[in-house]
Amino acid sequence: MRIIFLSCLLIGLILLSPIHGLAKPSVSAINAVLINESTGEVLFEKNAHEKEKIASITKIMTAIIAIESGKMNETVTASKRAVYTEGSSIYLEQGEKMKLKDLVYGLMLRSGNDAAVAISEYVGGSVEGFVYLMNKKARWIGMTNTHFENPSGLDGEAHYSTAYDMALLMQYAMDNKVFEKITKTEMYKSESREYAWKNKNKLLTTYYEYCTGGKTGYTKAAGRTLVSTATKNGVDLIAVTLQDPDDWVDHINLYEWGFKNADQPTMAQPQHSNDFLEGFGNIYRQIIGLDVNG
């Protein structure tokens, strides 16, 4: 009878204990992570450390290096290489002159690959020189599973990162006030353009009122990639998804889950519950004659 009573008591404590926590959100992404921007704590992850193609979220690194160069008010002349870069574009013309600041806005809001090349040639001396800076910066930030091959995010055999590494990059970039201002801008008009650029990040412009910035990405090989940030009730979160056909919805679900549980001591299994149940289990095994160290 004593064994039956103790068994029932143990089962009851497990059921009542917070060890089970709160149900985590389901995401369509192959790779995903949600972190606290202030602390870096990982709140949710799914294959977050697997190396994958990342498409245009690469441009977060391109932008922060350009901003930190201190040359934002200097004028850049678009080269033939920049103008003829494939993919998304802000439609630079060869020989066109534009401030580096405007190029960074075009890079982040419209994902201009031509802007990425123009920036890299000016700041790094060449595309190759700039890529060297990108990889050096990645190592400095702690992006241990990342390697850049170009400043735009076009697919390459040696161009990859992870959801977690990209979250680290965004955390670092958001600490820069200029970057923070650019990434949360919904519309921007360059001095050399007759029309304004609208941000492609629909979380920011349309879908989610708490979104404070981010960067979209897509190539056929990489699929849809997205880095975003959101703030609610003084809590700042960063979400990253790779290979995600439903990224807008997934980011909203991650944020709503994260903000709802932000007042929890941790979203992982509470350590005190582990300690209590382990201790109870040891007592239980001793009572019924089991070897605790077995």
Distance CA 102, CA 156 (A): 27
Buried b (16+ CB within 10 A) or exposed e, 132-155: ebbbebbeebebebbbbbbbbbbb
The yes-or-no answer on residue 38 being catalytic is no
Three-class secondary structure assignment of 164-217:
HHHHHHHHHHCCCHHHHHHHCCCEECCCCCCCCEECCCHHHHHHCCCEEEEEEE
Binding site for substrate, by residue number, is 215
The yes-or-no answer on residue 111 being catalytic is yes
Count of CB atoms within 10 A of residue 246's CB? 13
**Which one is catalytic: 79, 111, 152, 228?**
111
**Which one is catalytic: 46, 53, 59, 137?**
59
Whether 148 contacts 135, CB under 8 Å: yes
Q: Compute the half-sphere exposure of residue 248: CA atoms within 13 Å on the CB side of its CA.
A: 10
**Which one is catalytic: 46, 56, 137, 184?**
56
Binding site, by residue number, is 215
The yes-or-no answer on residue 161 being catalytic is no
Residue 83, classed as helix, strand or coil, is helix
Paired tokens of 79: 């080269």
Distance CA 138, CA 159 (A): 12
Q: Which residues are catalytic?
A: 56, 59, 111
